[in-house]
Chains A and B, each alone.
Chain A
Amino acid sequence: MRSIFVIARNTVSDALSRIVLQIILVFGIMFLIIGFFFTFMTPGEEDKMLKDLGISAITVFGLLLAIYMGISLIQPEVERRTIYALLAKPVRRLEFMLGKYLGAIAVLALSVAVMGIVLVGALYVKQAVWSPSLLIGLVGIFFALMIMTALVMMLSTFASSLMATFGGFLFWAIGYSQPFIKQLADHAENPVSRGLLLVLHEVLPKFTNLDLRLAVVDGTPIPVQLLAKMAAYGLGYTVVVIAVAGILFNEREM
């Protein structure tokens, strides 16, 4: 347990010293600030536009951060051989992986929090109405990013960074197209295609379950039960992906 914490802390220091991560975060914040000055384009609905733009920006820049963090966790350690000296210490492979993942999640939580604070600040300056649903919306984004990071990390236990990045974007696209995939499956005449689409629908993440953008923009109250459901889905899916990643990483030869 102690090893996991030590590795997580080191992962946070490593991530925060990386210029790519800083650039993504700064661009995310800049996008939110620029969006603030363009709300005049939707007179009467400035606050809605600001929320829509803000949630979308946090989602997209969060996705970039999640993919970047996901590919930075394992593969570079193996390629740069920094993992050799570490695994020669009393550290299990699973502890190493969990430590790296938790460190990445801490960085993502921090990033979403920083961008969220900028968004809330912008709404405050605009004297727009904002409700706790915005906070729940941010939590939904965070759960989606948790899943994304776990998926990309799982891919990077056996694939190159490029393949893992590509896979990450693919998972993201499919995860937000799940209703469309279900429709395709329902209308597919070929049983093989139908089966394949249903497997994709059932196995791959359903980020739509965690997407509360419309409710946040409209200011619709979000029931607490939904937050519990989101947490159960996000954490459950993450645990399964981490377990698979752990098995793959344990088998990997360095």
Chain B
Amino acid sequence: MASVVEVEGLTKIYRSFLGGTGVRALNELNLQVEEGETFGLVGPNGSGKTTCLKLLLGLIYPTAGRARLFGRKVGDMRVKQLIGYMPEAPYFYDYLTGEQLLRYFAQFFNLSKAQRKARIEDLLNLVGMWERRHMLLRHYSRGMLQRIGLAQALLNEPQLLILDEPTSGLDPVGAYQIRSLITELQRRGATILLCSHLLNEVEALCDRVGVLYRGNLKACGTLEQLLPPPSEVVILAEGLDAPAVARLEQLGAAALPADGMLRITAPVGKSEQVLAAVHSDGGKLHEVRRPRPTLEDVFMHMIREEAE
């Protein structure tokens, strides 16, 4: 079966009116998003994430390469019936109320009047905006606009949901609520393409991740593929004297004082020996854990490598 999103050699160069070499915003991007998965596109500002989304939505045209959604050309009206898009920091017609905006957008889909009414009611409840549905958008907070932005993206019960920085600029409560909504949509089987620079969010929500940097896809895969296994063990202990610490250091561990205790870091391969040494020297164990590198660690490592 064809992928929901297929991108092959997609390149975008922004040229000025006078020509010149221009800015290469996206460079020969290849990626697929499969049905039912949540794919995260991460990267710092200016890495080409929004350019990629704009190309998929037909808002801009590629310099080279091609993009297809549901096996059809980008911009095909049959495709647009199947997708939902939530722009970054949504801007809508501020002279409309939340409900009027949804009513306006709903008219572009093949829905009867009764279906539109029911769908709008459901969505306003889903995003928690039912009580504020008669309020003008110009009086909405950023979080409320994000919620209405998500609601308008869901009007057609899309098979592919494209989210551009869905929690950007929200307070922790607002961000949590939007993430919960996305989780609920995942549970319902939606295919989601999520663009974000919030790596913890992507790590929490996405099945696969693509890392964009300066227009190039630096890595792409599942979190298991991208995140290396834990390389060290962290032990919190107390009651160890200086000779005991010296013995730990001889085993390859590093010990630093932390909150009245010792924070001992040891390579995974030496963990059993280090634990045995702590025990034999009369140390009292408080915590032992094997922290896995986060997407942020991997991402920062890639960026540093690129800079060097």
Contacts and interface: CB of A to CB of B under 8 A. Distances in A.
Interface of A: 2-3, 6, 10, 13-14, 17, 80-82, 84-92, 253-254
Nearest to A17: B95
B80 A82 contact: no
Residue from the set B54, B95, B108 with the largest chain A CB neighbour count within 10 Å: B108
Contact of B95 (A13, A86, A92, A253): A13
Given A14-B95, A82-B91, A254-B54, 7 more contacts: A13-B96, A85-B85, A87-B59, A88-B83, A88-B162, A89-B80, A89-B105
A91 B83 CA distance: 12
A195 B149 CA distance: 54
B77 interface: yes
B58 interface: yes
Given A3-B108, A6-B104, A87 B58 contact: yes
B87 interface: yes
A84 B56 CA distance: 12
Given A10-B104, A90-B77, A92-B77, A254 B91 contact: no
Interface in B32-56: 54
Contacts of A10: 93, 104
Nearest to B17: A158
B107 A253 contact: no
Contacts of A2: 107
Contacts of A86: 105
15 contacts: A6-B104, A6-B107, A6-B108, A10-B104, A14-B95, A80-B91, A81-B91, A84-B87, A85-B149, A88-B83, A88-B85, A90-B77, A91-B108, A253-B60, A253-B61
Contacts of A92: 77
Interface in B227-273: none
Contact of B108 (A13, A81, A89, A253): A89
B176 interface: no
Nearest to A84: B87
A92 B81 CA distance: 12
Contacts of B86: 85
Contacts of A6: 104, 107-108
Given A88-B83, A90-B80, A90-B81, A14 B93 contact: yes
B269 to A, nearest CB: 52
B59 A84 contact: yes
Interface string B142-182: 00000001001100000000100000000000000000000
A254 B81 contact: no
Nearest to B90: A85
A220 B17 CA distance: 52
Given A253-B59, A253-B61, A254-B60, A89 B91 contact: no
Contacts of B59: 84, 87, 253-254
B57 interface: yes
Residue from the set B59, B77, B86 with the largest chain A CB neighbour count within 10 Å: B59
A95 B86 CA distance: 21
A3 B77 CA distance: 12
Contacts of B57: 84, 87-88
Contact of A88 (B61, B80, B91, B95): B80
A89 B54 contact: no
B23 to A, nearest CB: 13
Contacts of B104: 6, 10
A71 B59 CA distance: 20
A159 to B, nearest CB: 11
Contacts of B81: 90
Contacts of B60: 253-254
Nearest to A80: B91
A179 B95 CA distance: 44
A212 to B, nearest CB: 37
A253 B23 CA distance: 15
Contacts of B153: 85
Contacts of B107: 2-3, 6
A91 B90 CA distance: 18
* Nearest 5 A/B pairs, CB to CB: A88-B85, A90-B80, A254-B59, A89-B108, A253-B60
A253 B60 CA distance: 5
Interface in B101-154: 104-105, 107-109, 149, 152-153
Contacts of B149: 85
Residue from the set A82, A86, A88 with the largest chain B CB neighbour count within 10 Å: A88
Residue from the set A2, A6, A10, A85 with the largest chain B CB neighbour count within 10 Å: A85
A85 B152 contact: yes
Nearest to B56: A88
A85 B77 CA distance: 15
A193 to B, nearest CB: 28
A86 B91 CA distance: 11
A89 B152 CA distance: 10
Nearest to B108: A89
Nearest to A89: B108
B140 to A, nearest CB: 14
A91 B108 CA distance: 7
Residue from the set B54, B57, B61, B93 with the largest chain A CB neighbour count within 10 Å: B93
